[in-house]
Amino acid sequence: MSVVDTLRNHVRDHKRGMFVDLVFAIAWVTAVSVIFDLLSAPQWVYYLTLAGGVVAYYGFFWSLELAMEQQ
């Protein structure tokens, strides 16, 4: 199996999850960029907030999973 076939199979198997990840990343970066365009904060805070998107991602989907289990 070639690398292209492996990549194609991976995308086919995880298409919805990859799309959700992309939408979350775009929304997070957009929100952080808009907020920091309005505020006057140091550059390191901007980068720290962008990195906080990783924690926000896992926290959001973890809580979503818990909520779905309780129903």
pTM of this structure: 0.76
With CA atoms as reference, report the closest residue to 26 among 14, 34, 16.
34
- Summarised one tens digit per residue, pLDDT across range 1-51 is 789 888 888 888 888 888 889 999 999 999 999 999 999 889 999 999 999
- Summarised one tens digit per residue, pLDDT across range 55-67 is 999 999 899 889 9
**What's the pLDDT at 15?**
82
DSSP tag of 40: -
Contact 36, 49 (CB under 8 A): yes
Domain of residue 26, residue span: 1-67
Q: Residue written as tokens 């909520």? A: 67
Q: How many domains are contained in the chain?
A: 1
